[in-house]
A and B are shown apart, each in its own frame.
Chain A
């Protein structure tokens, strides 16, 4: 009886298939975002990050000199 009432009170029943699809979407889209971040890091390694690391090294050297 309780189960029946609980089901009757559900405004929107997402359905099992949709719940699994949602989990799949979160995983696939999450992987896509992760891929994008890593791609930026890879491209950044050959561009901006290289400059940043040079600047950081310079700063470290000047600190050591002081």
Chain B
């Protein structure tokens, strides 16, 4: 494979990567993601999400002359999305729809004993008028009592821009251009009006307390063991349902 074929969009994902050959986009699935991919396909989660148009459909293909075979499990060809857009291009409602889709996907994944490991807004595209997840490798096997690894990412990619647009100014969504990993929580906490701290169930927990806790535990001296925190499936469902209500309440 020529290095030119590899696309930089999936550079961080250890489960696989995207490449282009003769103008067609493919995705390699690495051997390390075998169990997760097989579970996604055999459990019925893939079929259900594709039927509901929440996940991009794909077909398994063979690409000849492929040069990265030592780590290759499968190659898939996802359905082509004609127009690629980014979160900072979207309207307020599109961002809201993408956030709700992400929560929907997390909810469905839990029902099939899987978890959405990645809640990046860049994994959502608008295809045929609806938001759809384009990263097939975003699902992981569910491990009981293990916290949702994408929680912070969901807050920074969706809740913070929506909160800033709703309570301060819609132009602040453009901060996503500068912060590709999502708008930092401490910045959001400073920008949001003081009265938002009084909303304990919403902004209080999601942004202000989250930002303070991040700051407190960012120093090595705290030496906190993450494994001590246990968050079971029901608690994760509570977070998903709570945030679905919270996101639906955002208005411009």
Contact = CB atoms under 8 A, between A and B. Distances in A.
A18 B210 contact: yes
Given A17-B213, A17-B218, A29-B238, A22 B201 contact: no
Contact of B147 (A23, A30, A33): A23
B77 interface: no
Q: Which label, helix, strand, loop or mixed, suits the secondary structure of the B interface?
A: helix
A37 B32 CA distance: 44
Given A26-B231, A33-B241, A33-B242, A15 B214 contact: yes
Contacts of B238: 26, 29-30, 33
Interface in A1-36: 9-26, 28-30, 32-33
A16 B201 CA distance: 21
A14 B216 CA distance: 14
A25 B118 contact: no
Contacts, number: 103
B14 A26 contact: no
Contacts of A28: 200-201, 204-205
A21 B213 contact: yes
Nearest to A32: B201
Nearest to B237: A26
Residue from B201, B215, B216, B218 whose CB has the most chain A CB atoms within 10 Å: B201
Contacts of A32: 201, 242
B150 A12 contact: yes
A14 B151 contact: yes
A25 B226 CA distance: 16
Contact of A21 (B117, B205, B222, B236): B205
Given A11-B118, A24-B205, 5 more contacts: A18-B151, A18-B214, A21-B210, A21-B214, A26-B231
Interface of B: 12-15, 117-118, 147-153, 155, 200-201, 204-206, 209-210, 213-218, 222, 224, 226, 229, 231, 235-236, 238-239, 241-243
